[in-house]
Amino acid sequence: MFGNVPLPAKRLSDYRRIVGEERLEEIRALARPLRGARVLHLNSTAFGGGVAELLSALVPLLNTLGLRAEWQVIRGDQDLFAVTKSMHNGLQGMPVTWTNEMKETWLRFSRLNAALFDQEYDFVYVHDQQPLGLLAVLAEEHGKRGRWVWRCHVDLSTARSELWEFMRPYVEQYDGVVFTLPEFAKNGLKGPQVFAIPPGIDPLSPKNVALTNGTVTEVLARYGIDAGRPLLLQVSRFDPWKDPLGVIDAYRSVKEEEPSVQLVLIAPMAHDDPEGWSYLERTARKAGEDYDIHLLSNVNGVGDREVNAFQRAASVVIQKSVREGFGLVIAEALWKERPVVAANVGGIPLQVLDGKTGFLVNSIDEAAERTLRLLRQPELGRRLGEAGREHVRGNFLVTRYLRDHLQLMRAIAGVEAEPARHRGPSDIAAS
Amino acid sequence: MFGNVPLPAKRLSDYRRIVGEERLEEIRALARPLRGARVLHLNSTAFGGGVAELLSALVPLLNTLGLRAEWQVIRGDQDLFAVTKSMHNGLQGMPVTWTNEMKETWLRFSRLNAALFDQEYDFVYVHDQQPLGLLAVLAEEHGKRGRWVWRCHVDLSTARSELWEFMRPYVEQYDGVVFTLPEFAKNGLKGPQVFAIPPGIDPLSPKNVALTNGTVTEVLARYGIDAGRPLLLQVSRFDPWKDPLGVIDAYRSVKEEEPSVQLVLIAPMAHDDPEGWSYLERTARKAGEDYDIHLLSNVNGVGDREVNAFQRAASVVIQKSVREGFGLVIAEALWKERPVVAANVGGIPLQVLDGKTGFLVNSIDEAAERTLRLLRQPELGRRLGEAGREHVRGNFLVTRYLRDHLQLMRAIAGVEAEPARHRGPSDIAAS
C-alpha cells in the first residue's frame, strides 16, 4: 500500500549480554501464541523523532519473534503536515486555531490514505494524530477488520478541548489506546482498553552502541569542539518547548564561574518546518558571537553516530524542556553514564531520580547551579551516571518495550494466560 | 528530453510604453530572419538566481518573435551540485580542491545528460559550468549539430588555473561564448566568437512591476517592519561574497547617528546548500538580539512580490558585495528609483555611476557615511533614483538583452546584413 520502510534484521540473542537470558525467555514465551500474526505500524515519517527510532527497533524484533510486522508511512503533503503540527501543538496545550478547513484537510488525507489501505492485518498500530482517522473511514466502508491500537506519543493532560472533542470519536473506535504515562491519558474514553507503555532505547542502535574513544575524539574535532574543556550538551529541537534559550542562559551563568565551558546544541532540522528555522535563527541570535556555543544539526552532517559521540563526550547533559513527552534522549544519556540535569516535567522524573540518577531542576538558576556542581565534582557525576545506566537497563530498554507490546497484543486479542493455550495466528485473525 | 520549464506567454507590445516603439521595431527586424529557428536554453535550475530570472523573460519573448525557444533543466544530484558549487567558487578565484573524483562526477553527469538529449536545435545555449560538457559528449557520439553558445555568468578573470585549464577544451568546442562584461572573459580562447552581453531586468515581472502603496505597506506589516522609520535593504545570498556581516557593521555605524534605522537582509535559501545555512547562522549571530535587523528568505514566505515591495519601501538599498557578477539586483533597485550605495566591484559600476545614479563605496565606513548622507538628504536620494531609472531604461532592460541575443544568433549563424536577405530558419539549420 504505502510502501514498507526497509529495516535491517535484528537478533534477540544480541541483547543477552545486556539484559540477561531470563528477560529474553520471558519475551519469547509471550510471543509464542502471536506467531504469524500480521502487524502493521503506521505513522507519518520514516525519519527523525522518537517514534521512528522506536519503530526501527520494535518492528525487526517482532519479526525475529515470528510475527509478520511491517512499518509503513502514510501519504501527506505540506497542507496536511501544517494542520497536524497545529494539532500537535494544541494537544500539548498551546492555543491554536482549529477551523473547519483544517478538519477538512485532515479528513481528506484520512480518506486518501484509507483508499491506499489494501491489505489485512491482525493488529494495526496507528501512531499519533496524522493517521488517526483511517480507521473511521475503513470501518464505515468495509467494516472494521483486525485489532486497532492508537498509540499516542504526546501528553494529552492539557489538550485543548475543542481539538480533543473533535478527535475523541475517532479514538473511541479503537480497541486499544496506548499512552506513554498514565498521567498523559484522557479519562472517560468509551470503548478502548487503555494502556501506559513508556518507550525504551535500543542499546544496539547507531545512536547508543559503544564507540571507541578515537571515534568520539574525531567527531569533536570535526566540529571544532575542544576535547580538553568541559562540554555541556542538549539534544533537542529548536523550539519553545525545549527552551534552548534557557539552556544558553544557564550556560552563561556557568561560564561566569568556569570560563572554559563549551555548549553544544544539536537539533534535527526539517526542510518543511519554517518554525524550526525561525527558532534556530532566534537561538543563533541569542548565542551571538560566542563561538563556544555550537549549533549543530543534520544540515551540518550530524547523524545518529555523531549524537552518540557528543553524548559520550559531554561533561553534563542538559534537558531544559518546558514540556516533554517522555524525553528518550535522557535515557540515551543515562545509558552512556552521563550526569544529567533535566527539567522536572513529563516523563523525565521517571528517568531522572533526583540526586540518584541525575538532578531535576525547576529553573535556569537551578540548572546552572547543578551543572556547576557536577563540573566541580566529577566523582558525583560518575556515581549518578552509573546509577543512571542501571536504571535504564532495568526499565527503559527496547526489550522491556517489546515485552509490554506483546502483552498488549495478547490483552486486546483475548490471549489471556500463558503458552498453555497455544492459540495460533489464525485464531487471532478470526476472533 | 529533460522537460520544458513552463513559462507564461509575453507580448512585446506590452513594453511599448516603457521603451518606445522604435526599440521594438529594431527587435522585430532583427528577429525576422530567425523566425522558426529552434532555440534551446539549458541550465541547472528553474528556480532562484539571476539566470532563471533572465530566461523567464528571454524565452517567452523569443517565442513571441516567431522563434521556437525552450528552456530545459539538466538532471543532477547532490554530488554533481557539490562539485559544480566548488567549480563556481574556483571560477570566482577561491582556492578549491579539484580532484579526479570531482572531474569524474562532472563527466558522468555530462554523459548522463547527453544521453537524454534527443532533439535537434538550431541554437543551443548552455548556461554556466553544470551542462558545459554536454557538447563534447554529443559531438563525439553524433557529430556537432546546430550552433552552440556557452553563456558564462561569472567573472573568469581570477579563475583558478587548474580548474580553468580543465574546462577550456570543453569551452573551445562552442561556436560562441558570452560573458557579462568584456573584463570577465578569458583571453586566448581558440575557436568560439566571444561576446559581452550584460543582463537586463524585466520591468513587467512580479519582481519589478509597479505595486500599490497598500501592497507595500501590507508586506512591511506582515514582517513587522515599521513603515514610519528609515529602512536599509540588501537582497543577496548569505555568503562571504555578498558580505552581509559588513552590511551589519555599516548599519551599526548609521544607527549610532540615526537610532531609528532598520535593516532588512533578504536571501534565497536552498535546502541543499549547507554553506548557505551556516552563513545564515553566522549572520544571525552577528545580528545578535537587535531585532531591528530582520533576516528574511523564502523560508519566511518572501518571494518576488515581497522583494519588490521591500525594494520600493527601502530608504537606501545597499549592495556591499566583495565580488559580483553583474548584480542585477542593483538594476532592480534603480528601476524603482531607489538611492543605492554599492561596492565598486564586478558589473556594479556599469549601473551605479558614482554621484549620478547612486554611490560607489570601497569600505564599510564609506558605505555608512553615504547611507547616512542619503537618509539626511532625501532630495539627493530622489535625484539619484530618478537618474538611476533612466539609466536602467536605456541600458539594462530585458528588451536590450533580447536585442543583443538576436544579434548574437545572427552573427554565429552568418546572417549578416538586414531583412534584405530574408534567410529563413531552414537556411540556418542547414548552414
Residue to substitute from B263, B266, B281, B302, interface A, most A β-carbons within 10 A: B281
In whole angstroms, give the CA distance from residue B145 to residue B219.
Answer: 49
Q: Give A42's strand partners.
A: A72, A126
* A352 vs B: CB within 8 A: no
User: Can you list the positions of beta strands (E) in A83-212?
Assistant: 123-127, 147-151, 176-179, 193-196
Q: What is the pLDDT of residue B427?
A: 42
User: For strand B38-43 and strand B147-151, is the pairing parallel, antiparallel, or unpaired?
Assistant: unpaired
Q: Write out chain B residues lying below 8 Å of A300, CB-based.
A: 274, 278
Question: Of all residues in chain A, what percent are helix, strand and coil, respectively (each to 5)?
Answer: 50, 15, 35
In whole angstroms, give the CA distance from residue B243 to residue B237.
Answer: 9
B213-395 carries CATH number 3.40.50.10470: no
Q: Which three cell numbers stand for residue B317?
A: 538599498
Q: Write out chain B residues lying below 8 Å of A295, CB-based.
A: 281
Listed as ranges, residues in chain B with pLDDT below 50 are: 417-431
Q: What is the pLDDT of residue B428?
A: 44
- Predicted complex ipTM exceeds 0.85: no
In whole angstroms, give the CA distance from residue A74 to residue A131.
Answer: 7
Identify the burial level of B291 via C-beta atoms within 10 angstroms of its C-beta, where 0-12 means exposed, 13-18 middle and 19 or more buried.
exposed
Which amino acid is it at A228? G
The mean per-residue pLDDT over the stretch A373-377 comes to 98
In whole angstroms, give the CA distance from residue B28 to residue B21.
Answer: 11
Residues B236, B241, B246, B251, Cα dihedral to 10°:
-20
**What is the DSSP code string of B370-431?**
HHHHHHH-HHHHHHHHHHHHHHHHHHSBHHHHHHHHHHHHHHHHT--S-GGG---HHHHHH-
What's the DSSP call for residue B352?
A: -
Q: What is the pLDDT of residue A48?
A: 65
Question: pLDDT by residue (tens digit) across A144-165?
Answer: 999 999 999 988 999 999 999 9
Determine the distance in angstroms separating the CA of B296 from the nearest CA of chain A, rounded to an integer. Answer: 10
Count contacts between A and B (CB, < 8 Å): 34
Q: How many helices (H) and strands (E) would you count in chain B? A: 17, 12
In whole angstroms, give the CA distance from residue A427 to residue B126.
Answer: 66
Residue to substitute from B285, B291, B300, interface A, most A β-carbons within 10 A: B285
What's the DSSP call for residue A4?
A: B
Q: What is the pLDDT of residue B358?
A: 98
- CATH code of the domain made up of A12-200+397-430: 3.40.50.2000
Q: What is the pLDDT of residue A78?
A: 84
* B285 vs A: CB within 8 A: yes
Number of Cβ within a 10 Å radius of residue B20: 12
- Of A320, A338, A203, residue with least CA distance to A265: A320
Residues A291, A296, A302, A307, Cα dihedral to 10°:
90
Q: What is the pLDDT of residue A416?
A: 60
Q: What is the pLDDT of residue B416?
A: 60
Report the percent of chain A where pLDDT is more than 70: 95
Q: Which three cell numbers stand for residue A301?
A: 552532517
Domain B12-200+397-430 and domain B213-395, same fold? Reply is yes
What would you measure as the largest C-alpha separation in chain A, in angstroms? 67
In whole angstroms, give the CA distance from residue B104 to residue B241.
Answer: 28
In whole angstroms, give the CA distance from residue B97 to residue B209.
Answer: 43
State whether A287 and B285 contact (CB < 8 Å).
yes
Q: Which three cell numbers stand for residue A108?
A: 481528506
What pTM was computed for the model? 0.80
Chain B residue with the nearest C-alpha to that of A274? B299
Number of Cβ within a 10 Å radius of residue A9: 8
In whole angstroms, give the CA distance from residue A274 to residue A295.
Answer: 17
Is the CB of residue B188 less than 8 Å from the CB of residue B149? Answer: no
Measured in Å, how far apart are chain A's first and last C-alpha atoms?
A: 25
Give the residue carrying C-alpha cell 506589516. B221
Measured in Å, how far apart are chain B's first and last C-alpha atoms?
A: 24
Q: What is the pLDDT of residue B429?
A: 40
Q: Write out chain B residues lying below 8 Å of A78, CB-based.
A: none
Which of A274, A284, A301 is nearest residue B284 as measured by Cβ atoms?
A: A284
* A224 vs B: CB within 8 A: no
**What is the DSSP code string of A84-149?**
HHHHHHHHTT------HHHHHHHHHHHHHHHHH--S--SEEEEESSSSTTHHHHHHHHH---SEEE
Question: Which secondary-structure segment (H or E) carries A342?
Answer: strand A340-343
State whether B284 and A285 contact (CB < 8 Å).
yes
Q: What is the pLDDT of residue B119?
A: 85
* B48 vs A: CB within 8 A: no
Within 8 A by CB and 6+ apart from B77, the residues are none
Question: φ, ψ for residue B28 (rounded to 5)?
Answer: -60, -40
Enumerate the H helices of B235-377 as residue ranges: 244-257, 274-287, 304-313, 328-335, 348-351, 364-376
What's the DSSP call for residue B46?
A: S
Q: Which three cell numbers stand for residue A5?
A: 520502510
Residue to substitute from A223, A238, A280, A281, interface B, most B β-carbons within 10 A: A281
Residue A426 has pLDDT above 60, yes or no: no
Q: How confident is the model at residue A1 (pLDDT cuts 50, 70, 90)?
A: low
How is chain B split into domains, by residue range?
12-200+397-430, 213-395
What SS3 class is residue A233?
strand
Residue A274 has pLDDT above 90, yes or no: no
Angle A109-A113-A116 from CA coordinates, rounded to 5°: 150
Q: How confident is the model at residue A273 (pLDDT cuts 50, 70, 90)?
A: confident
What's the DSSP call for residue B126?
A: E
Q: How confident is the model at residue A425 (pLDDT cuts 50, 70, 90)?
A: very low
In whole angstroms, give the CA distance from residue B344 to residue B87.
Answer: 24
Residue A251 has pLDDT above 90, yes or no: yes
> To 10 degrees, what angle do helices B100-115 and B134-142 make?
60
What's the DSSP call for residue A157?
A: T
Which of B281, B286, B300 is nearest residue A274 as measured by Cβ atoms?
A: B300
Give the torsion sign (CA, A332, A335, A337, A342): positive
Looking at per-residue pLDDT, the higher value among A206 and B50 belongs to A206
State whether A281 and B285 contact (CB < 8 Å).
no
State whether B289 and A285 contact (CB < 8 Å).
yes
Which amino acid is it at A187? N
User: Can you list the positions of beta strands (E) in A130-279?
Assistant: 147-151, 176-179, 193-196, 231-235, 262-267
The mean per-residue pLDDT over the stretch A9-21 comes to 96
In whole angstroms, give the CA distance from residue B361 to residue B340.
Answer: 10
Q: Which three cell numbers stand for residue A201?
A: 532505547
State whether B285 and A280 contact (CB < 8 Å).
no
Q: Which three cell numbers stand for residue A45?
A: 515519517
Enumerate the H helices of A274-363 as residue ranges: 274-287, 304-313, 328-335, 348-351
In whole angstroms, give the CA distance from residue A12 to residue B346.
Answer: 65
Question: pLDDT by residue (tens digit) across A22-64?
Answer: 999 999 999 999 999 999 999 998 776 778 889 999 999 999 9
Query: A 253-282 residues with CB below 8 A of B?
Result: 271, 274, 277-278, 280-281
* A299 vs B: CB within 8 A: yes
Determine the distance in angstroms separating the CA of A263 from the nearest CA of chain B, rounded to an integer. Answer: 15
Give the torsion sign (CA, A179, A182, A188, A194): positive
